[in-house]
Structure 1
C-alpha cells in the first residue's frame, strides 16, 4: 500500500491546497478563506445554479466554503484576524473543505502551516486536531493518519530550492524567506533548512491592513463608506481602476498609503536580521509579494531578491515536498505516491 501525502495552507485570505502530483508538477487550487455558517446543510437546498462549494459540519453548525462562496455569503465577511484562528470552527471548516476537494480516500500524512510567531505555541495542538477522522460533507469522512505543522515560509524555502535545483547546495547556505500574507507578514532566517528562531518572526501587518487603509481613504474621498476590499485588491494587482458609482476610480493618489504599510513591515523585520551581509538567498513569496517587493529591495539594496512562479502557492508546494521527504524516511510504507484511487496522478 502506497502513501498519500497532501498539504493545505489555510491563510486569512485564501485556502491553498494540493490537488495532485504528476512527476515534478505539484498541482494546486485555492478558494477564499470565508466560511458561511448556517444551521442546516445548504447543499441539500434547491438552487437555480449549483455553486462550487461544499457544506462542512463543524460542531452544531454547517459551514459553506469553496470557490463560489461569494454567491452564498452575505455582505458581512468576518476575517479571522487573531492568534486563535487555528482553533476556530471556521479554520476547521476551511481545512475540511480543502480535504473534500482533494478527492482522495484517506491521507497518510497531512502537512499544514502556521505563522512563524505561533509555531512553538500552536504546533502540537494543531497536529493533534488535524489527525483522525474528518467529516467533509454529504455524509463523507476522510481519515488523516498523521499531521505535520511547519512554519509557513519554510515551505517556500523548500519550494524555491527545488524549483532552482538548489536542494544539494542550500544546506550550507543562509537564507531569508519573506512571506507577506493577508493577515501576517512572516519572515524566516534559515541556516540550510534549519530555522534560526531568534531572527525569525511574524507581525500582524499584511495585505488586510493595506486594503483597510485604502478603503478608508476612498471612503473619505467619495463621502460614503466603501468596503469592497476585493475590488481594491484586484485593482492593486492588475492596475485596472475599480468601478465606484458606475465610474472608474483612480486609486493612484492612495498608493503611498499601501506602500507605507509595506515599509513599516519590512522596517520591523530588518531590525531582527543580525547579519544581512551573510544572507545568500532572499526569497519573496506570498499573495502580497507584488506590493512588498519595492520595500524589500530598498531594505536590501545589495542583494538580489529571488521570486518564484505562482508565489501564492509557494508555501503549500513546499509543504508537499517536505511531506514527501518526511514520509520516505519516517513512515512505514516505502515510497510516497499519488497513485491512489482519485488521486489525480
Structure 2
C-alpha cells in the first residue's frame, strides 16, 4: 500500500496518527506513548503464547527491541511514571519505537510525505535530525518489509491545528489574528497567526514544558494527602478525568471532581498568564484551544483572556495530525 501523507504527533502522553486511506477517508488512531524494552526471559517466553496481545508491535531500534501496545484503550503499568517527558524525547530510542509501531499499524509500504510534529521550543534543536533519521528505507521490525519514506517535514505541533482550523468550512474566527493554544500531556505550545493565510508572528509564539501532566500529578498529590496512600498511576487518573468516571484504586471508588478543580486552580492560571504575557496585546486575537488536555485549561483561558472569542476544536486530541495531513496533501497537489 502506498500513501501520500502520514501525520504523526509523538506526544508525551499519547501517540496520534492520521492518514488518508485508499477510499479517500481520513483515518486517525492513538495509543499510549509507552515503549518498553523487550526481554526474552524464560518466564516471558512461556507466558507469551497465552498473554501476547495482537495489538503489541515488536519493533527494532538499532540493536534493541521494544514492545509497543497500539491498543487505544491500553493502560500502561503503574510503574511507568516519567513518560518520556524530557526535552530530549525526540532523540530517544523510545520515540523511534513509537513511530515504527505506528507505521506498522498503518501497514503502508511507501509514504510520499511523513509530517512530524514537535513542541515549538524544540523545533530548532531536533527538526533536522528527525528528517535525517526517518527519510529513506526503514526496517521497523524483523518480520516486516521495509517502508520507504520519500520526504519528512517537521512542523511545530500547533501548526497542525491551525491548518485543520483553516480547512473547516464553517470557521468561527473573525478576529485579525488567531492564538492557538495546544495543551498536551507534557508541553503547552502556542502560535499566533494571521487569521487569513499562514503568516506566523514568531515573537508572540512559544512553548513551555508542562501541561496536562502537571494537573494529573497535582491530583495524585492531593489524593495521597487525603487518603494516606501513594497514587502513581497517572494514566488511570487521566482516563477517569476524560471519561468523567470514578477512580478505582486501593479498593476505593473516588469522585475526582473536587481534586480536579483544586489542581486546576493551582496550576492552570499561572501557565495561561505566561502565554498572555508573551502574546502582549490581545485586541486583535481570537483564541482557539486544542490538544488532548485543552479542556483542563478552558476555565483559565476564559479568566485570563476576557472578552475574547474562545473556540475549542472538535476532537482536539486529533486536530494536529488531521491538519498535518490536510496541509501535506495541499502541498503535494501544488507541486
TM-score (norm 1): 0.87
Please tell me whether the aligned partners of residues 32 and 76 of structure 2 are also in contact (alpha carbons under 8 angstroms).
no
Q: CA RMSD in A?
A: 2.7
Please tell me whether the aligned partners of residues 155 and 318 of structure 1 are also in contact (alpha carbons under 8 angstroms).
yes
Q: 1:228-247, aligned counterparts within 5 Å?
A: 228-247=233-252
Alignment partner, residue 29 of structure 2: 29
Q: Secondary structure at the match of 2:50?
A: coil
Q: Distance in 1 between matches of 2:322 and 2:90?
A: 20
Q: Unaligned regions of 5+ residues in structure 1, if any?
A: 331-345
Please tell me whether the aligned partners of residues 78 and 234 of structure 2 are also in contact (alpha carbons under 8 angstroms).
no
Task: From 98, 105, 118, give the equivalent of 1:101.
Answer: 105
Task: From 135, 140, 160, give the equivalent of 1:136.
Answer: 140
- Aligned-pair CA distance for 1:166: 5.1
Alignment partner, residue 267 of structure 2: 261
1:284-314 per-position Cα deviation (integer Å, ceiling 9, x unaligned) = 1100111111111111121221122111100
Please tell me whether the aligned partners of residues 224 and 231 of structure 2 are also in contact (alpha carbons under 8 angstroms).
yes
Q: Distance in 2 between matches of 1:297 and 1:17?
A: 30
Q: Distance in 2 between matches of 1:72 and 1:309?
A: 24
Q: 1:30-69, aligned counterparts within 5 Å?
A: 30-40=30-40, 45-48=48-51, 50-68=53-71
Q: Secondary structure at the match of 1:156?
A: helix
Q: Secondary structure at the match of 1:318?
A: helix
Are positions 1:328 and 2:320 aligned together? no
The structure whose RCO (Cα within 8 Å, separation 6+) is larger is 1
Q: Structure 1 residues 247, 40: closer, same or farther in 2, change over 3 A? A: closer
Task: From 223, 226, 238, give the equivalent of 2:228.
Answer: 223
Q: Secondary structure at the match of 1:4?
A: strand
Q: Distance in 1 between matches of 2:117 and 2:74?
A: 28
- Aligned-pair CA distance for 1:38: 1.7
Q: What is the aligned length?
A: 327
Q: Distance in 1 between matches of 2:45 and 2:283?
A: 55
Please tell me whether the aligned partners of residues 51 and 71 of structure 1 are also in contact (alpha carbons under 8 angstroms).
no
Q: Structure 1 residues 3, 96: closer, same or farther in 2, change over 3 A? A: closer
Q: Distance in 2 between matches of 1:243 and 1:3?
A: 42
